[in-house]
Amino acid sequence: MKLLRTRADLSDWQSARAGIPRVLVPTMGALHRGHTSLFDQARNEAGKDGDVIATIFVNPVQFAPHEDFDAYPRPLEADLEKCEARGVSAVFAPDVSEVYAADRSIMVSESRLSTALCGASRPGHFDGVCTVVAKLFNLTRPDVAIFGEKDYQQLALIRRLVRDLDFPVRILAGPTVRDDDGLALSSRNTYLSPGQRAEAPILARSLREVAAGIASGAVGSPSEARQEFLDRFAAASLARLDYFEIVDAGTLEPLGSFSGRVPRLIAAAFFGKTRLIDNVGLPHD
């Protein structure tokens, strides 16, 4: 496995591997089983003769000033060991100066899918995501890129980015990986206190139970589903709900009814200062 720290390193590696299929898995590091499942998916997609390239880059422009950019974990050596163990061909792990010019003045903005949900709670976040993903596509030139479903809004935005800006990249989704108690794996789970960690699975459980009610017909409308979720989530004494929405799985538009639409249930909540996100489709979606 090659470690590439500069644009020049990346360019040299690409020249030596010209014509070989390439699958990209972008990450911010602090890797866990959710990430390694994406590496496995990427290796399967690339085949034994293709290349899997992972990026490890904590992107400053997607963090607000009050967020955890400085505190975000950066265990690079451990991350590299995980990459190599999962068949990653190369890791591009640049410094900020390799990605952004000091006098940069252009960002990639999205004006429809990014305004609600996490976009409402984190203004500017998705402009930072779209900008860095566009740059990583241009720098690594993959045939395929894989993003996890845990951040469902981000996945929808990346698909729109590729469509609207004509990137020649096929986007694949990786299923959310969970602990045994249902909590979606996240690098930020390490911020949770023992009490918060014990309570955190209520987010996934509430989503899953409401989704089951919709699928069975016991919950007949989005307004009923909202109340059902709020009633269930109210049992969390250490949490504060940020949002809960039922949206069209393709457009992210809020649903007024379930007729003829494929719903996705999406939520975010604070456990102390730690903000967790999760989403589910209906059973068997």
User: Coil, strand or helix: which one is 65?
Assistant: coil
Instruction: Name the residue type at position 39.
Output: F
Domain that holds residue 232: 187-278
> Domain check: are 206 and 246 in the same one?
yes
> Domain check: are 32 and 88 in the same one?
yes
- Cβ–Cβ < 8 Å for 128, 96: no
Q: Which of 35, 66, 125, 284 is catalytic?
A: 35
The H or E element spanning position 265 is: strand 263-271
CATH number, residue 27? 3.40.50.620
- Annotation marks residue 32 as catalytic: no
Torsion angle of alpha carbons 75, 172, 98, 21, nearest 10°?
A: 110
> Domain check: are 145 and 16 in the same one?
yes
- Cβ–Cβ < 8 Å for 265, 225: yes
pTM above 0.75, yes or no: yes
CATH number, residue 261? 3.30.1300.10
- Tens-digit pLDDT string for the chain (285 aa): 999 999 999 999 999 999 999 999 999 999 999 999 999 999 999 999 999 999 999 999 999 999 999 999 999 999 999 999 999 999 999 999 999 999 999 999 999 999 999 999 999 999 999 999 999 999 999 999 999 999 999 999 999 999 999 999 999 999 999 999 999 999 999 999 999 999 999 999 999 999 999 999 999 999 999 999 999 999 999 999 999 999 999 999 999 999 888 999 999 999 999 999 999 999 975
pLDDT in tens, 139-153: 999 999 999 999 999
- Number of folded domains that form the chain: 2
User: Coil, strand or helix: which one is 254?
Assistant: strand
- Cβ–Cβ < 8 Å for 199, 232: no
pLDDT in tens, 176-233: 999 999 999 999 999 999 999 999 999 999 999 999 999 999 999 999 999 999 999 9
User: Coil, strand or helix: which one is 268?
Assistant: strand
